[in-house]
Each structure stands twice: as C-alpha cells, then as structure tokens.
Amino acid sequence: MTQLKRDIDHLWLNEADSIALQQSLRDLDTAYQNFFKRKNGYPKYKSKHNHKQTYRTISKIIRIEGKYINLPKVGLVEFRQSRQIKGKIINATITKNASGKYFISLCVEEDLADDLKLNQGGEIGIDVGLKEFYTDNFGNVVLNPKILKRLTKKLIKEQKRLSRRMRESRNREKQRVKVAIVHEKIANTRLDFLHKQTTKLCRENQTIAVESLRVKNLLKNHKLARAISDVSWGEFFRQLSYKSILYGCDLIKVPTFYPSSQTCSQCGSKNPLTKDLKVRSWKCPKCGALHDRDENAAKNILAKALEIKNSA
C-alpha cells in the first residue's frame, strides 16, 4: 500500500483515509482465508461503480460534537443521531446506499449491564405463518402486512420505466434512483414492523417460545418462496435473539419436527389429518376439544419450550 501511494498512477490513494485502506486489505485477507477454509465462496470484486459503497475506519479522532461527527480525512459532518452514545467509540462504518443516502454505524464499547432492560415476566408461545404473521397461545393474531405485495405495482411501474431509458444516460440514473427508493421503502417498512413486534414481545415476556424453522430450506418451495421472503421469518428470529439478551428474556426454540399442529393441547393425542394445511380448525377425536390450528400449535410450542427449560 505504501508503494502504491508513491506510484504516480495511484496518487489518488493519498486522498483517502489511510486506516480505511488498511481495513479494506484486512477484510480482503479475511475473505480469502474464509474461502480457503471453505466457510464462504470466492471473494467478489467490488467496483467503485457499485450503487452501494461502504468503508470502515478506526481512529481516536472519531467523536461527536453536538450535531456534528468528526471523521478522518473528512472533518466535521452534520448528521442526525438516532440514539445516545454511552461508551467508547471503537470504529465507524460509513455507507452510501443505492438511493444516494449516507449512513454511519458506530461500534461502541459499553457495559451491557448498564443497558439491560426489564420485562414484565410473561410466557408466550408463537406460531408463525404467511396469512397471519404469528398467532400466540392466547389466541391473539398479528396479521402479515404483506409489504412487497402492496408495493409490487409501483415497483413494476418504475422498473418498466427504467428498462426504457438509454444506458449510461442521466435520465436512466434518475430513474434508477426512483427504483432504489421503492426498494428502500419496502425494506424500511418491513424492518419497522419487525422491530415493533419483537420489542413488544421482549418487553412483555420472560419466556418466548418459537419454532426452530430452517428458512433456507423453505425457500426451495418456488410457489411460496416470494411470500416467505416477504414475511422475513429469519430477520424476525434474529431480532428476537439479540433483544431477548437486552431484556433478559429466555428465547427457547422448539425442535423443527415437533408436531405442534397435529397434537391436541388438551389431552396430548395426535391427529395426523391436520397435516393438510387447509385444515384451519379441528376437533380432537379423543377428548372432543375444538381447536384453532394456529392457536393450538402456539400452546403446544409453549408447553414444549417450558418442558425443555425445566429439564435443562
């Protein structure tokens, strides 16, 4: 890197933050090591013409001064702070997304005990679905917002306009940004919904029971792949995982092949006829109890989770 900076054809490297350049080399080295260890695929080339640009820097001069943040080689930049910084700033990642907006993510060292929040001590079992986002053991239903389906027409309209624009023209670039804004709205609306639901669950409950779903395997069903991607079960469970630590909750995952939908929550007998997803309500042939499919599954998931918790 030092030799390249002295080369007359690479003098532009001196305009960039030196630590950011070193960090890029470290990331490249890590990518190759993971490839040779067969953890990841071959490293992909990232062009400066990519619509998403990012770099990470480490420096003692990264500090917040009122509504400004000081960055190496950039200086004071006005920004909007989303939350209060309590600890020591370790590094900063600056990102430019496809629609042209800039974001900065700060990695901060702080004591987790100072940030722990209290929950209300409840117990809840959750059965996720496509029509209903989830149903709990109390019979409460949260509907799937189907964000992608709502904005599909607008997305198709903007993408058609993009396809008609001349390549490398200014109008094409303007239209590309409009398409990126629609994608951004879909992603932001979905994340907002997921954050609200996961925060609510972690605030109210000490024990949260969910199914251990293999989402990647479910996506192989090409008839349901788009709906499964839109509902974002993977992101939902990821948020529950880290928020359960912040709120001191017990997130318990029930085994994938546990027959929660086939088991009667009253007597424990199995009804194999409920394997058909069209069966939304059924009567237990043994005890005669009437069950809603999703509510019954949520009750069984919670019961199995408590059993796992008590046996641990």
Does the annotation count 136 as an active-site position?
Answer: no
Does the annotation count 9 as an active-site position?
Answer: no
In eight-state DSSP terms, residue 272 is G
Kind of pairing, strands 250-254 and 205-211?
parallel
Among 136, 158, 230, 294, which one carries the catalytic annotation? 294
Alpha-carbon span 93 to 126, nearest angstrom: 35
**CA distances (Å), origin 269, targets 251, 261, 287, 302, 305:** 26, 11, 9, 17, 18
Among 17, 136, 211, 230, which one carries the catalytic annotation? 211
Does the annotation count 292 as an active-site position?
Answer: no
Which string of DSSP letters, residue by residue, matches 50-119?
SS-EEEEE--TT-EEETTEEEETTTEEEE---SS---SEEEEEEEEE-TTS-EEEEEEEE--GGGG----
Alpha-carbon span 150 to 250, nearest angstrom: 35
Q: What is the 3-state secondary structure (H, E, C) of 158-192?
A: HHHHHHHCCCCCHHHHHHHHHHHHHHHHHHHHHHH
Which residues are part of the catalytic machinery?
127, 211, 294
